[in-house]
Amino acid sequence: MEAAIKMIGELSSGEIRELVRGKYSEVALNSTSKYKFRVGKQYALDLGYAAGEIESFPEMLAESFTGVSSYLARCGEFAPGEVILELGAGGGLDTALLARKVGPSGKVIGIDLSLAMVRKAVTGLGRLGLPNVRCVQALAEELPLPDSSVDWVVSNGIFNLSPEKERILEEVHRVLKPRGRVLCSEIVLQREPSLEERFHEEDWFK
Ligand SMILES: C[S@@+](CC[C@H](N)C(=O)[O-])C[C@H]1O[C@@H](n2cnc3c(N)ncnc32)[C@H](O)[C@@H]1O
């Protein structure tokens, strides 16, 4: 029997989350397959990541890159010793760049809902020998962190994937220290997508 295909608007938040988890786990495990979005090192270079830095990293750190800009580590005025929380850290490319910014006295905590992505980031970052990073499987909507515990929250392309953006923002507000800062690269709609564009789950970033 064929599974019923639903319109995107008919999917629950939990169903959308599982589709997102499945898709990015696939990217972590098969980064060279064909996707509806760009993946990998050449994409990162085209977006403006510094070739010298990327070339010095273990190959796997950029292999599953699917961010939407190269600005995270460049745009924040990160200081040594600061604690950064990265939402949807994926394969760990920005995580590595950010960890270098805050140095050994600082810390980067990367969270991602896909266990396969987290495993990939842990392996790649481990090969780079960075002592100040920790990657865990978690939802941005339910952060496993205490109140007022981080100086920065950053992300590179996670909000567009969550149907519960307000819950994420509430969590960001909760975990940020007073005067903490937020830096997010995101896809923003400039108009409502048409019915055809939001047709059904088979069309959706498959
Ligand atoms: C567009 S990718 C970007 C990954 C990474 N930032 C990069 O630049 O390569 C989004 C990532 O966020 C993760 N993600 C999506 N929704 C999430 C959520 N609600 N909570 C935690 N992670 C999520 C996905 O598994 C995926 O790895």
Check pocket membership of 40 for ligand 1, CB cut-off 6 A: no
Reply yes or no on whether the pLDDT at 1 is more than 50.
no
Query: Where are the alpha helices (H) located in the chain, listed in sequence order?
Result: 13-29, 41-47, 51-55, 60-63, 72-75, 93-102, 115-128, 165-175
Domain 8-185 has CATH 3.30.300.30: no
Phi and psi at residue 139, to the nearest 5°? -95, 140
**Total-model pTM:** 0.94
Residue-range domain boundaries for the chain: 8-185
Indicate the DSSP class of residue 126. H
| Residue whose CB lies within 8 A of the most ligand 1 atoms, among 12, 17, 20, for a mutation test | 20
Pull the structure tokens for residue 107: 């810390």
Q: Which of 17, 21, 24 is the best mutation target for the ligand 1 pocket, counting ligand atoms within 8 Å of the beta carbon and taking the most? A: 24
Tokens encoding 26: 């696939």
pLDDT for the residue numbered 192: 85
> Residue 140 Cα, ligand 1 centroid: separation in angstroms?
9
CA atoms of 195 and 184, how far apart (whole Å): 28
Q: How many angstroms separate the alpha carbon of residue 89 from the centre of ligand 1?
A: 6
> What pLDDT digit, counting tens, does each position of 142-162 carry?
999 999 999 999 999 999 999
- By CB neighbour count within 10 A (0-12 exposed, 13-18 middle, 19+ buried), where does 11 fall? middle
Question: Would you state the structure tokens that stand for residue 163, as one six-digit string?
Answer: 């149907």
Three-state secondary-structure class, residue 84? strand
Minimum-distance ligand 1 atom for the alpha carbon of 91:
9
Q: What percent of the chain has pLDDT over 70?
A: 92
DSSP state of 178: E
Tell me the residue type at 32.
T
**3-state secondary structure at position 53:** helix
